[in-house]
A and B are shown apart, each in its own frame.
Chain A
Amino acid sequence: MSLEPQELSYLKSKIGREPSSTELQIVAAEWSEHCSYKSSKKHLKMLPMTGPLVISEKGYDSGVLDVGGGYVITAHIESHNHPSAIEPYGGAATGVGGVIRDILSAGTRPIAIFDGLRFGNIEKDKHARWLFKNAVSGIADYGNCLGIPTIGGEVEFDDCYSNYALVDVAALGFGKKENLIKNHANKGDLLILMGGPTGRDGIGGSQFASDLLESEDRSAVQIPDPFIEKLIIEAILEARNHKLINALKDLGGGGLSCAVSETADSLGIGIEMDVEKVHTKEKGMNPEEIMISESQERMLVITNKQKLKKLQVICKKYNIICSVIGRVTSGNKMHVKKGKKTFADISTEIVANAKLLDRPSKIPTYLKNIQKEKKIATIPNISKTLMKLFSSPNIASKIWIYSQFDHEVGIRTVIKPGQDASVLRLDNGKFLSAKIDGNPKHCFINPREGAIGCFEEACRNVICTGAKPIGMLDHLQFGNPQDPEIFWTFLETLKGLTDFANYFQIPCIGGKVSLYNETSKGPIKPTPLIGVLGLIEKNPQISQKVEPGDCLVIIGTTKNELGGSEYYEYIHKFIGGNCPKVDFSESKKNMKTVLELINKKYLKVVHDCAKGGLAIAASEICMTNQIGCNISLDKVPHKTQEPERVLFSESHSRYLLVLKQKNLSKVKSIMKKNKVSFGVIGKFSGKKIQFNKEKKSLADVSVDKAEKIWLNSLREMVLVG
């Protein structure tokens, strides 16, 4: 936990003297990869970050979108991987807490949580099961207590996360544009630390997160207290209503060091503070510990003397400690004292801006042959394979997880978890749709196309609810960036996302980079996680009950793209092959067509084709509606021959539509007009899911049996093993 030798000499040359030990600790925290983005910052600028709806303000930790009628949405994404890998309950819980405070920092009320979780093979590995179960409990206990609904997410299991965990949390906020906190500060303003006491928990957490996970440094994991966080949310929003806050910043990675230096740097002010004024959990903490502690549930507030009294009254009401720890000065230095003695006096511009790196990159050798196809033995019994896939932890229903999250509180949840994307109603009469998606199996085989695929999948999911994508969040998770091969996969991912964002004009409104995600067996697969927000002006696409006689239509072409598919990896244990690639113009055409059909109210159900391919997507419609369907592969537009490939390919840009027979001709004429490839592939009736080709039955399974396995297997795996 210290600076690299070249960073130390850079620091010395900048300040022209030896740094004090407190200064060293402050700088080491702030220059950690986690806080400074020193490896990634130069490259992240390639992503488009502006757009007609994007509002940019100084010093925000979350992205802001104008959704009309005087209202804004705020959004942010964070991860808590290292802590969750050691202590999954506390790590996941504090991950929720941190991203919620980022939303709060803009002066908006948090209204939704999403979580993206990744673990090792829970079927075989008890430790992975333990991590999974406790991370879910941590998120549930924290989010439920706050009264913020967890309305969506995704979970994936892969051997590359053995003995490790990725816990990503995204949060959304909502508020009036006029209530946004416009960060500003004047000389003489007061620096206030609000919330829980500062302790020795989470010491050096950000540096710990910027290192390889070789030792279990439990003291670097923070301790969660959602009750205090809830009180802070209410106190801050009440103070915001009374205009008592000039500037606001969450204390996250790097603790006070980071919050103070970044606030001062972004506002162009100096700050003088006294660590003796900081309320602590225990006596005898030294200035360094106080400056880099990452104790949770703390906010930094800048206000003035006139407003202080009112702020103290609010804090007293909620029983929240608020300490005046310093003041705003002219100049640009952070001056840290203990009583009268100075411990650090250093330019915030230096502290807040680590020297950015140009890491070398090189195409990984493993990629050379990975896209080669392997001759896959034909499977004798596709029905059996289908049943096996329903029980795969990556495909099985996630109801065991989301039923532990209060997804109704706040009474906004129009489309609930378990569907393509969740939808919230807003106070301006519009609806917000949101989804997060990742796919490390694809990303490993082709980092660029895999990342684009995650982005497109998240778009498809919000499109399925009738929403137009308006913003994107990216969370880029990789191994050690000092390895040029890993850094290459990071750059490829970023380039892919940038191309897609530019083509579809979806601005990136927030993101996070998490590096050094390695286990004893090596780096994780490239794991970008993409969140997409969509806006619905009037009517969300709410699924209607599927009835006998309804038609099943597919939009989009099925290609020979099974690389990274659940079929190759779960059934055939083969990692490799053609990774699905998004054809941008086909993608755009299909999105537009689906939205047009939704707006014309022709569709009963719209479902995205993703993991497990057409076979799984069609079965999911059958299972959730408890109705059978007879599906003919002859009508599926495809560029591959073997029936297994048509059934299980994970090609992008595909949608399944369910409609009444009487709407079919109108729907067909719109699809023809828009020149999309489509097929009317099935008819619903009875209680069996049947796939046929040239009148020959390929698979025939009972809806009830399939549903039972699909609904229960994840819970059974966790509880029984």
Chain B
Amino acid sequence: MKVGVIVFPGSNCDRDMFHVLRDVFHFDTQYFWHEKGLPKNIDAVILPGGFSYGDRLRAGAIAAHSPIIHDIQKISEKGIPVLGVCNGFQILVESGLLPGVLLKNNSLNFMCKWTSLIVKNNETPFTSQLKINQKIPIPIANGEGRYYVDEDTLKSLKKNNQIVFKYAEVVNGSTDKIAGVCNENGNVVGMMPHPERAVESEINPIDNKPSSKIFESLLNNMGVYQ
């Protein structure tokens, strides 16, 4: 069973994500360069953070046209788990796999800080081991991280249980403090904070157990969707 970490030109959290998947949670992990195709037997795909194409045009806008996005779309339709973190989330939004847009933070600055997430949907392959309203200490690091949807879309997100994570505090002006969403099916999840930076106690000053559940959820769900 295999997890793919997608690498775009300018991805910079790919190696961190790879380390966490392989060395901490012992997934069979492989990098996929954005120009390559995905194999048929892939069990999950993660789009890591970074600055694909230097955030030119808009964060994620150019990477959303990479050849591999076509394959990601195909596997997502089959129900295979796909997670986008930070720039990965921006790419999923830009490619239309997830609703909404990500705008410049309210502060107009890049923001790197530890904050808390609240779990709002524990029926996705990345949150099934978490409890509703459970808090997750986690760092954010982004310049364009303010999630925005209009009122109608917000209503439908709520109706379809597509809000996966909310911030516990006002962080950047996101609509309804949304930090992460999923598609209607629940198998494609995007989130701005970085779970891969929070799962090892050595670098997590607060508590590494809640964020570890994100990867443990995936472990538990591996192969279920093939």
Q: Which residues of A approach B to under 8 Å, CB–CB?
A: 137, 140-141, 144-147, 225-227, 230-231, 317-319, 402-414, 416, 425, 542
Q: A231-B9, A413-B203 are in contact. Are A226 and B139 (CB under 8 A)?
A: no
Residue in B closest to A147 when the chains form the complex, CB atoms: B12
Q: How far is the CA of A411 from the CA of B112 in the complex (A)?
A: 13
Q: Which of these binds chain A: B75-83, B146-154, B162-170, B193-201?
A: B193-201
A140 to B15, CA, bound (A): 21
Taking A147-B13, A409-B16 as contacts, is the C-beta distance between A227 and B54 under 8 angstroms? yes
Q: Which residues of B contact A146 (CB under 8 A)?
A: 12
Question: Bound state CA distance, A259 and B20, in angstroms?
Answer: 39
A425 lies within 8 A of B202 (CB): yes
Taking a contact as CB atoms under 8 Å apart, the answer to whether B33 and A317 are in contact is: yes
B contact residues around A416 at 8 Å (CB): 205
Within 8 Å CB of A405, what residues of B? 110, 112
Tell me whether B10 and A411 are in contact (CB under 8 A): no
Decide if A145 touches B112 in the complex (CB within 8 Å).
no
User: CB < 8 Å: which of A231, A406, A412 contacts B110?
Assistant: A406
Q: Tell me, yes or no, whether B220 is within 8 Å of chain A by CB.
A: no
* CB–CB A147/B50 < 8 A: yes
Nearest CB on A from B26, distance (A): 17
Residues of A within 8 A of B205 (CB): 416, 542
Q: Which 8 A-B pairs have the closest CB atoms?
A: A147-B12, A227-B54, A145-B51, A406-B141, A411-B16, A408-B197, A406-B112, A404-B110
Given A408-B194, A411-B196, verify A403-B202 contact (CB < 8 Å): no
Does chain A have a CB within 8 A of B109?
yes
Q: Chain A nearest CB: distance from B203 CB in Å?
A: 6
Residues of B within 8 A of A404 (CB): 109-112
Question: Pick the contact of B56 from A227, A230, A403 — CB < 8 Å?
Answer: A227
A227-B54, A231-B9 are contacts. A144–B202 as well, Cβ < 8 Å? no
Chain B residues with CB under 8 A of A225: 54
Given known pairs A411-B197, A411-B203, the reply for A145 and B13 (CB within 8 Å) is: no
Report if B216 contacts A (CB, 8 A): no
* B113 interface hit (Cβ, 8 Å): yes
Q: A147 to chain B: which residues have CB within 8 Å?
A: 12-13, 50-51
Contacts of A412 in B (CB 8 A): 203
Question: Could you list 19 A-B pairs, sorted by A, with CB under 8 Å?
Answer: A137-B109, A144-B51, A145-B51, A145-B55, A147-B13, A225-B54, A227-B54, A230-B10, A230-B12, A403-B113, A404-B112, A405-B112, A408-B112, A408-B141, A409-B197, A411-B19, A413-B203, A414-B203, A416-B205
B143 within 8 A of A: yes
Evaluate whether A409 and B110 lie within 8 angstroms (CB atoms) in the complex, with A145-B54, A414-B202, A425-B203 already known. Answer: no
CA distance A231 to B110 in the complex (A): 22
Chain B proximity of A419: nearest CB distance (Å): 11
Assess whether B32 is interfacial by the CB under 8 Å rule: no
> Which B residues lie at the A interface, using CB under 8 A?
9-10, 12-13, 15-16, 19-20, 33, 49-51, 53-56, 109-113, 139, 141, 143, 194, 196-197, 200, 202-203, 205
In the bound complex, residues from chain A placing their C-beta under 8 Å from that of B109 are 137, 140, 403-404
A579 CB to closest chain B CB (Å) equals 36
Known: A317-B33, A409-B197, A413-B203. 4 other contacts (CB 8 A): A227-B51, A230-B51, A409-B13, A411-B196
Look across to chain B and name the residue whose beta carbon is closest to the beta carbon of A543.
B205
Complexed CA–CA distance, A227 and B9 (Å): 8
Question: When chains A and B are docked, how far (Å) is the Cα of A585 from the Cα of B78?
Answer: 71
- Chain A residue nearest to B16 (CB atoms) is A411
Q: How far is the CA of A455 from the CA of B3 in the complex (A)?
A: 48
- Cα A317 to Cα B109 in complex, Å, equals 32
In the assembled complex, the CB of B106 is this many whole angstroms from the nearest CB of chain A, namely 13
Q: Is the CB of A144 within 8 A of B110?
A: yes
Chain A residues lying within 8 Å of B194, measured Cβ to Cβ, are 408
Residue of B nearest to A143 (CB): B110
> Chain B's nearest CB lies how many Å from the CB of A173?
15
Cα A137 to Cα B108 with chains together (Å)? 11
Residues on A with C-beta less than 8 A from B16 are 409-411
B117 to chain A, nearest CB (A): 15
Q: How far is the CA of A231 from the CA of B13 in the complex (A)?
A: 14
Residues of A within 8 A of B141 (CB): 144, 406, 408-409
Give Cα A403 to B105, complex, Å.
13
Q: How long is the Cα–Cα vector from A544 to B13 in the complex, in angstroms?
A: 29
Closest chain A residue to B55, Cβ basis: A145
B36 to chain A, nearest CB (A): 11
**Chain A min CB distance to B55 (Å):** 7
Bound together, the chains give a CA A318 to CA B53 distance in angstroms of 11
A491 to B172, CA, bound (A): 50
Contact present for A145 and B10 (CB under 8 Å): yes
- Nearest to A425 among chain B residues (CB) is B202
Task: Decide: B143 and A144 in contact? CB cutoff 8 A.
Answer: yes
Q: Shortest distance in angstroms between B134's beta carbon and chain A's nearest beta carbon?
A: 22
B172 to chain A minimum Cβ distance, whole angstroms, is 12
Q: CA–CA, A405 to B13, complex, Å?
A: 15
Residues of B within 8 A of A145 (CB): 10, 12, 51, 54-55
